[in-house]
């Protein structure tokens, strides 16, 4: 009987630890807390962003509460397996983008979180100037992954390619030029790449392959990849 009680206690401990964590952890570390895109990221943030991409109401509410301006898009089935679902046109965040962006709500939520909490602070901290504009090759594009027959997350509006950053002092920080250039520019790019890995499902950069030598690919597809 004592052995049975011991086994019950042993099996109960993980559940008790989890309950204590959920009860006591700050919201940013609690994956079950409401999705708040303005809070400083923590160990629960990626899980909350994943929850948002799977729940339309949770996602759009989070964008609204963060003050992100957007135009909702009707779901669209397209040729070759492409389509836009739970998608929007991103109208205004904290930073202008160089192209009009159509993307899923989940992608927009992760992008805003990265922009607000990773890219903008890193620019001021490392480069001494705020970001004036984020340079991008775009988001939605009905195409396969280069060199394969597999649909790209761009074909679902679930990815963005970021090529550089125009600063308020006029400098252009380019992934192609500065990834291995040394100095503060390289430090900045390495930091924001690492920060993207903690928020997006897939983060690919110059060290992934030659096709990504000039940009970061950031998507909220399946799996978890940081390269």
Flag whether pLDDT at 6 surpasses 60. Answer: no
- Tell me which of 4-18, 116-130, 157-171 is least confident: 4-18
Name the H helices within the chain.
2-24, 45-54, 56-66, 105-114, 120-122, 175-178, 183-197
Q: For 94-110, how does the pLDDT look when each residue is reduced to its tens digit (9 = 90+)? A: 999 999 999 999 999 99
DSSP state of 107: H
Reported as a pLDDT band with limits 50, 70 and 90, residue 59 is very high
Structure tokens at 166: 């125009």
Angle in degrees, CA 217, 223, 227, rounded to 5: 40
Residue 1 exposed, middle or buried by CB count within 10 Å (0-12, 13-18, 19+): exposed
Q: What is the pLDDT of residue 17?
A: 41
Reported as a pLDDT band with limits 50, 70 and 90, residue 1 is low
Higher local confidence (pLDDT), 162 or 18:
162
Residue 8 exposed, middle or buried by CB count within 10 Å (0-12, 13-18, 19+): exposed
Structure tokens at 127: 């480069």
Flag whether pLDDT at 57 surpasses 90. Answer: yes
Q: What is the pLDDT of residue 146?
A: 79
pTM, full prediction: 0.88
Q: Look-up: residue for tokens 């940081």?
A: 226
Angle in degrees, CA 36, 73, 40, rounded to 5: 15
Name the H helices within 34-104.
45-54, 56-66
As a whole number, mean pLDDT of residues 70-88 equals 93
Cα(158)–Cα(107) distance, rounded to whole angstroms? 6
Closest CA to 201 of 139, 105, 110: 110
Cα(148)–Cα(162) distance, rounded to whole angstroms? 22
As a whole number, mean pLDDT of residues 38-60 equals 95
CB–CB of 161/215 below 8 Å? yes
As a whole number, mean pLDDT of residues 199-226 equals 95
Residue 57 exposed, middle or buried by CB count within 10 Å (0-12, 13-18, 19+): exposed
Reported as a pLDDT band with limits 50, 70 and 90, residue 2 is low
Cα(20)–Cα(17) distance, rounded to whole angstroms? 5
Rounded mean pLDDT of the chain?
Answer: 91
Task: Give percent above pLDDT 70 in the chain.
Answer: 89
Q: What is the pLDDT of residue 19?
A: 46
Cα(52)–Cα(66) distance, rounded to whole angstroms? 14
């Amino acid at each position: 009987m004592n052995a049975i009680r011991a086994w019950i206690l042993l099996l109960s401990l993980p559940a008790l630890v989890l309950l204590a964590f959920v009860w006591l952890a700050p919201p940013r570390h609690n994956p079950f807390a409401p999705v708040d895109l303005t809070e400083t990221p923590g160990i629960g943030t990626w899980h909350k962003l994943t929850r948002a991409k799977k729940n339309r109401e949770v996602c759009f509410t989070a964008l609204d509460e963060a003050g992100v301006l957007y135009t909702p898009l009707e779901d669209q089935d397209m040729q070759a397996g492409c389509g836009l679902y739970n998608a929007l046109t991103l109208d205004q965040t904290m930073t202008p983008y160089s192209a009009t962006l159509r993307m899923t709500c989940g992608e927009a939520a992760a992008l805003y979180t990265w922009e607000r909490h990773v890219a903008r602070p890193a620019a001021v901290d490392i480069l001494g100037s705020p970001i004036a504009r984020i340079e991008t090759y775009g988001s939605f594009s009905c195409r396969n992954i280069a060199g394969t027959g597999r649909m790209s997350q761009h074909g679902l509006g679930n990815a963005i390619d970021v090529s550089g950053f125009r600063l308020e002092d006029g400098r252009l920080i380019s992934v192609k030029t500065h990834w291995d250039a040394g100095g503060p520019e390289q430090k900045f790019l390495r930091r924001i790449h690492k920060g993207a890995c903690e928020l997006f499902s897939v983060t690919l950069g110059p060290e992934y392959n030659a096709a990504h030598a000039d940009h970061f690919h950031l998507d909220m597809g399946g799996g978890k990849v940081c390269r």
